[in-house]
């Protein structure tokens, strides 16, 4: 079976030939891939079954810099400003070595005091049909490769908001009734609904939603706060996507231990949980408790197995998942985050070969 057919068979409860496989990587690891294989395309080099879709947005960095200047903030060329206004500081490359992709984040909207100031900012227009031009063709190109098309909408509401506002002010605003953070969450929710609908209509196979709402010790906020402010917004995004295409699989990403909200995620329509970090999410417990209602995507630790294990450890981790797949669990094997430069090439090859073995 091609990758997409194999994945669809798995999700339909049939008999896939092998474990579906996904992988993403940092630019420094792509340097390794290119050196070893002649291509920077980690999907092609490692034989992954999925390829990500994005929606290109016109560069508005100049407009954002001008808007920030009006707020009294000046960002020179050592900072990047993206189309959503998110700001990163680029550290000197010589201080980072092989981890040259790492950057520090600034929170420019910490200076905002009113929603009127937010309304004047140069937000991109996601209602413009031209933004989505060519999206169905990109889906067809991925399908022509025999791969599943994964629509990227991670950092759906929570992360996109606090990246701009700052996490401390995000929580203080909600506690104090300050309308700045709710305005931002509303804007990002509306953006996510619109993009989700377009991805769905274009024929994407998987909609990748998510926000990192947990640490490895539990939720970053109370479950009650998550239910009040984030769950309804996520539910509306999922509803919009499913109304546009009921066959679209809904994937939700959060790092850390999110066991406290897994039943809520299932309730609002999440069908695939990612990344299921084995360092803090007990796999056997999750498969046994939720395997009849939820699929799982990830499970190969990028804090443990991939960088610090041996090829044999990688193969053993995959075999454990294959055993659950034989018992009916719906799984996509993947590293629990992007492959970093400390992952040995031999471990990446072991992962590639292990997932190819028959179930």
Instruction: Quote the DSSP letter at residue 248.
Output: P
Mean pLDDT of 98-108: 94
Instruction: For residue 277, name the pLDDT band (cuts at 50, 70, 90).
Output: very high
pLDDT per position as a tens digit, 234-261? 999 999 999 999 999 999 999 999 999 9
> How many angstroms separate the CA atoms of 310 and 203, rounded?
39
User: Six-digit token pair at 332?
Assistant: 């996509």
Q: What is the mean pLDDT of the chain?
A: 97
The structural domain count of the chain equals 2
pLDDT per position as a tens digit, 120-167? 999 999 999 999 999 999 999 999 999 999 999 999 999 999 999 999
Residues 104 and 135 in one domain: no
Domain housing 280? 3-59+123-355
* Strand-pair partners of 215: 218
- pLDDT over 90 at 91, yes or no: no
Which of 58-62, 140-144, 177-181 is the least confident region? 58-62
Mean pLDDT of 297-323: 98
How many helices and strands, by DSSP H and E, does the chain display?
16, 12
Return the H-helix or E-strand segment holding 146.
none
Residues 83 and 127 in one domain: no
Residues 263 and 201 in one domain: yes
Residues 198 and 239 in one domain: yes
Which of 84-98, 274-288, 329-343 is the least confident region? 84-98
Mean pLDDT of 195-203: 98
Task: Specify the pTM.
Answer: 0.97
> How many angstroms separate the CA atoms of 340 and 332, rounded?
20
Which of 99, 122, 145 is where one domain is finished? 122
Q: What is the CATH number of the domain that holds 137?
A: 3.20.20.210
Mean pLDDT of 323-329: 97
Q: What is the three-class DSSP state of 249?
A: strand
Which of 76, 105, 122 is where one domain is finished? 122
Mean pLDDT of 342-355: 98
> Residue 130 CB: number of other CB atoms within 10 A?
8
Greatest CA separation found in the chain? Answer: 60
Cβ neighbours of residue 242 closer than 8 Å, sequence gap 6 or more: 200, 248, 250, 269
Residues 25 and 78 in one domain: no
Assess contact for 131 and 57: CB atoms under 8 A. Answer: yes
- pLDDT over 90 at 92, yes or no: no
- pLDDT over 90 at 56, yes or no: no
The pLDDT value recorded for residue 95 is 85
Which of 27-31, 43-47, 75-79 is the least confident region? 75-79
Residues 281 and 229 in one domain: yes
Q: What is the three-class DSSP state of 27?
A: helix
Residues 222 and 170 in one domain: yes
**Strands (DSSP E) along the chain, which ranges?**
50-53, 79-81, 87-89, 104-106, 148-154, 206-210, 214-215, 218-219, 249-253, 272-274, 295-300, 331-335
Cβ neighbours of residue 75 closer than 8 Å, sequence gap 6 or more: 65, 68, 81, 87, 106, 108
Which of 68, 93, 122 is where one domain is finished? 122
Judge residue 204's burial from the number of C-beta atoms within 10 Å of its C-beta, 0-12 exposed, 13-18 middle, 19 or more buried.
buried
Residues 234 and 312 in one domain: yes
Residues 23 and 82 in one domain: no
* Strand-pair partners of 273: 252, 296
Mean pLDDT of 26-55: 97
Residues 108 and 243 in one domain: no
What backbone torsions phi and psi does residue 210 show, to the nearest 5 degrees? 160, 155
Residues 105 and 219 in one domain: no
Cβ neighbours of residue 88 closer than 8 Å, sequence gap 6 or more: 79, 80, 103, 104, 105, 106
User: Six-digit token pair at 267?
Assistant: 């309730």
Residues 100 and 14 in one domain: no
């Amino acid at each position: 079976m091609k990758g997409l057919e194999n994945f669809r068979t798995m999700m339909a409860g049939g008999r896939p030939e092998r474990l579906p496989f996904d992988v993403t990587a940092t630019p420094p690891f792509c340097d390794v891939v290119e050196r070893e294989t002649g291509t920077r395309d980690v999907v092609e080099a490692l034989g992954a079954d999925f390829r990500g879709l994005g929606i290109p947005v016109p560069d508005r960095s100049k407009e954002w810099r001008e808007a920030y200047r009006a707020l009294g903030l000046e960002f020179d060329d050592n900072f990047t400003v993206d189309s959503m206004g998110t700001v990163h500081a680029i550290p000197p490359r010589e201080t980072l070595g092989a981890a040259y992709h790492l950057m520090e984040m600034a929170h420019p909207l910490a200076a905002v005091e009113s929603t009127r100031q937010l309304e004047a900012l140069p937000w991109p227009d996601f209602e413009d049909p031209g933004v989505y031009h060519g999206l169905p063709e990109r889906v067809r190109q991925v399908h022509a490769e025999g791969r599943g098309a994964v629509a990227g909408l991670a950092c759906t509401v929570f992360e996109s908001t606090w990246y701009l506002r700052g996490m401390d002010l995000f929580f203080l605003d909600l506690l104090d009734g300050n309308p700045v953070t709710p305005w931002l969450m509303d804007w990002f929710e509306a953006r996510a609904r619109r993009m989700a609908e377009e991805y769905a209509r274009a024929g994407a196979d998987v909609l990748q939603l998510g926000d990192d709402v947990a640490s490895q010790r539990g939720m970053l906020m109370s479950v009650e706060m998550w239910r009040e402010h984030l769950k309804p917004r996520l539910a509306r995004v999922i509803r919009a996507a499913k109304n546009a295409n009921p066959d679209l699989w809904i994937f939700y990403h959060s790092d850390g231990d999110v066991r406290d909200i897994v039943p809520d995620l299932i309730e609002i329509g999440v069908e695939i949980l990612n990344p299921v970090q084995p360092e803090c999410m007990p796999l056997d417990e999750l498969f046994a408790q939720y395997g009849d209602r939820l699929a799982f995507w990830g499970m190969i630790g990028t804090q443990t197995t991939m960088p610090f294990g041996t090829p044999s450890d990688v193969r053993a981790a995959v075999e454990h998942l294959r055993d659950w797949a034989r018992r009916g669990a719906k799984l996509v094997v993947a590293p629990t985050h992007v492959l970093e430069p400390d992952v040995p090439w031999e471990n990446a090859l072991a992962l590639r070969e292990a997932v190819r073995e028959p179930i």
